[in-house]
Amino acid sequence: MARSTTGDGDNRPEPAPPSGPGRRELIMIGTPEAELRVTTTGARSLANADLGELAGIAADPAVVIRPLFGPSEERVLASGVPDDATDQPVGIDDTGPTLVAEMARFYHVDAPDDQLDELMEQLQASPAVAGAYLKPPADLPVRADVLERLNDMPPDDGDAPPETPDFTSRQGYLDAAPGGIDARWAWTQPGGRGDAVRIVDCEWGWRFTHEDLTENQGGVIAGIADPTPDSRSTNHGTAVLGEISGDVNGIGVTGISPQAVISASAFSVASATAIRSAADRLGPGDLLLLEIHRGGPNYPGGDTQFGFIAIEWWPDDYLAIRYAVTKGIVVVEAAGNGSQDLDDAVYDTPRPGFPSWWHNPFRRTSLDSGAVVVGAGAPPSGNSGPDRSRLGFSNFGACLDAQGWGREVVSTGYGNLQGGGNVDLWYTSSFSGTSSASPIVVGALACTQGALRAHGRPPLSPARARELLRSTGSPQQDATSRPASQRIGNRPDLRALIPAALRTNQWTGVQFRGQVGAHATKQWFTFRWPAHWHVVWHMMPVTPVVGAPEVEWDVEVERADASRVTYWLTVRNLSGTAINFDGRYAVLN
């Protein structure tokens, strides 16, 4: 087995990749009181707390425990998130642990899979461990149900022609709404091809040597691109890239947002680590796509993806998504192909070992990851039911924000549209699942962010992106036994989405009236203001005092959650007379 040397002289064996197809993940959470410091060679407590069995486990050469979100606990605590994000709560209110402090208590435990169940029980018994839980293997959304495997189309054996034809006329998702998202119209707008937008696709298996993926490709920024290399294992990621960023070159396909720069973060590392690594390379308004799902409480086991759900349900993935959203990154998450109602009460029950702050994030009440969650809808051909109706394999529920085509997507990879012996020339006409739906939403948002930047406007925040996807677009339709009440949301319509994002509304008003005594200072607060509004405050005296200034004021801002802010207004009376005043506001955008 290969060996690696770390900075502290550790020469223990390098563990197998902690994630990827078929691998479970063991997550450990330290108690706040223990102040754990864990390296690859052992564990200690800054508070001299009793470690119990954790001490022996951490010293075992066959087990490697690492901080999940960084090389050390100190590095996690000194996170590069904006200053005000360090104090952000884990949930959507101001109670409970803060985000970065909680991330510093999460660890990944690498060990042979047949030892993980016993290790979990031992760790749960340690007084320095607040929780330990096993996550089922992550997988790409490639199954419709136990009888049908999506994206299992064999490549055409015939040789590719000397020059690849132009397949863009078959990319119906580029067309005008309601059948498509009207990307072709967006391309006529300044910035509407995703200009100056960065995207990271989190999954595995890409072919950056494909003939139609030569421009604006950032390569793999974390993990191993292809953990099981063969000619077909790169199909999924390659198809996702083609939808979003296929080159404008007169051959093959054209991506929805071809001017956006797209990179990849591989889930060959722990999924939360891959998400955090991707987020650290992105900025406000950029996009992060999550293309995996996991078996949830209703997963029966075996060769099916029934019961698979969106990954934010697991606490460490939830924290990683929240971390990205706190940085202003728009996270787009596949809802999963598990045929699940995510409003079901079964998802309210935590797994043993989950932290005490955990609540079902699909409810978006106590916890809300801030991600845009995407379902799979039928394309307009009618081959899979009415246009925009829920496909039977797609998860659904109140937390889903938008839908994309879940069938018949033309893109790069797979080879059933154009095959042959050179994999770099393969194309498909039938990419499917929430896998094909989510990139369509990413592309639409990238076009919108590019248009905003071209106009010198701030990009959409994660909360604003959700809001606009829900308030614009082509509505979901009913299908037999799959009514629109089984929510997957609207299909984006860029001809409506971009103008809505660029629209400005201005108005003024009086929020409150107050009184301040002579030479006194008082503070007021006003809460639940949308974070994307640009608000200016003015305190206007209504009590005349002639000859000198009467009041001055300060405005302080609290980011209460991902979408709302609280304004703290301190008013000082400069006169010797009690003053009445109006607390006036102006919304500029």
Contact between 284 and 276 (Cβ < 8 Å): no
pLDDT of residue 94: 73
* CA gap 145, 303 in Å, rounded: 9
Smallest Cα–Cα separation from 565: which of 529, 589, 536? 529
pLDDT of residue 221: 83
pLDDT of residue 16: 43
pLDDT of residue 4: 31
Intervals of the chain under pLDDT 70 = 1-22, 80-87, 143-148, 224-232, 562
Structure confidence by residue, pLDDT tens digits, 554-576: 999 997 776 788 999 999 999 99
* CA gap 329, 369 in Å, rounded: 12
pLDDT of residue 143: 62
Q: Which residues contact 345 (CB under 8 A, 6 or more apart)?
A: none
pLDDT of residue 205: 85
What is the full DSSP assignment across 222-266? ES-S-SS-STTTTHHHHHHHHHHH---SSSB---SSTTSEEEEEE
CATH fit for domain 144-502, picks 3.40.1180.10, 3.60.130.10, 3.40.50.300, 3.40.50.200: 3.40.50.200
The ranges assigned to domains in the chain are 25-135, 144-502, 507-587
CA distances from 12 to 1, 62, 407 (A): 10, 8, 47
* CA gap 236, 229 in Å, rounded: 13
pLDDT of residue 15: 41
For helices 434-454 and 462-471, give the axis angle rounded to 10 degrees: 110
Smallest Cα–Cα separation from 75: which of 97, 48, 103? 103
Assign 3-state DSSP to the chain and report helix, strand, coil percentages, each to 5. Answer: 20, 30, 50
β-partners of residue 293 are 139, 310
Q: Where are the alpha helices (DSSP H) in 313-410?
A: 315-326
Give the CA radius of gyration of the chain.
26
Cis-peptide into 178, omega within 30 deg: yes
